[in-house]
A = this chain, B = another copy of it.
Amino acid sequence: MEDLRDDRDSWSSENCSVARAMDIVGSRSTVLIMREALLGTRRFDDFVRRVGVGEPAMAARLKDMVAADLLERIPYREPGQRTRHEYQLTRKGRELLPVITALRNWGDTWAADDAGPSIVATHHDCGQPVRAVLRCAAGHEMADGDIDIAAGPGLIRRD
């Protein structure tokens, strides 16, 4: 099987999942909101305080993310309080965990504070640290040199 990279100009990257993913989660604040949401944050004022952006920006970002179906706006009521809304991760949002984890891993290695990482994700069952790694369907773990690029069904060829 031929590696697609060998003739990069014969196909277009018009239909690119990376680009479409970046259109949805491409801004710094959206990613930081996802980080907080994955850590369990759900309320507007907690997001504002923990992410460190202003209220107007947060309101706009959350609205976008609900529209993009990363978060769901759900009413709740604490005793003695009036009804409010919280932002819960959807499945689509939760599945960004490997992206955020890969980013955190990379940041820990290449953009770290002198003190080291502030948080470490660990496997609940065995306590070992968790990383995002590349793995094939047969179970092999690999580095970038072991990877071929093959055509998928959505590939657009140039004339």
Q: Which residues of A contact B (CB under 8 A)?
A: 1, 4-5, 8, 11, 13, 15-24, 26-28, 31-32, 35-36, 38-41, 46, 50-52, 92, 94-113, 115-138, 140-142, 144-156
Contacts and interface: CB of A to CB of B under 8 A. Distances in A.
Given A101-B134, A148-B124, A154 B19 contact: no
A22 to B, nearest CB: 4
A102 B105 CA distance: 12
A108 to B, nearest CB: 5
Given A22-B103, A106-B99, A119 B152 contact: yes
A107 B26 contact: no
The 3 closest A-B pairs by CB, nearest first: A17-B107, A21-B107, A123-B136
A98 B130 contact: no
Nearest to A5: B40
Contacts of A147: 121-124, 130
Given A99-B103, A129-B136, A147-B121, A153 B115 contact: yes
Contacts of A5: 39-40
Contacts of A99: 99, 102-103, 106, 132
A135 B123 CA distance: 8
